[in-house]
Amino acid sequence: MPNTKPWWEEASDGAGKEDNGSNDRSARCHAGATAALCIRDQLDSLLDEAARAKLSARETLILLSEREIAPKDHRRIEMALKLAHFSAVKELAGFDFEAQAQPSIDPKQIRDLAASRWIANGKNVLLLGPPG
């Protein structure tokens, strides 16, 4: 029968290798050393999630990295919005195209621009007209 253990449990089997408790402490230590506070607090559940999804070592590291970076990005964006002192934060989803003051605005074109496909295609966007 093939070995179905996740890669992090395989490393803890056999003679001369660390036991699971030691691996767990080591992983927590490394997570703390890199200031990965979110990962450290969720390490067991994230590794269980990776095992259930049968992720490779690379995919597991990507999962852990994404889970660590996402809250930091969210906090960074919140802080930037606070520092900008906008009178109101508005999103495109809340824009009423029916009651708009510019009838020449095409809602489909605006949503297409918002999808940012023009970036992936290496195109430029130039918006002309008065502000507001």
Q: List the single range of 16-20, 26-30, 114-118 with lowest mean pLDDT.
A: 16-20
- CA 10, 11, 16, 22 dihedral sign is negative
Residue-by-residue DSSP string for 79-126: HHHHHHT-S----GGG--STT-S-TT--HHHHHHHHTTHHHHTT----
- Domain coordinates of the chain in residue numbers? 7-90
pTM of the entire structure? Answer: 0.45
pLDDT at 8: 55
Instruction: Give tens-digit pLDDT for 92-126.
Output: 888 887 776 667 788 898 889 999 999 999 999 99
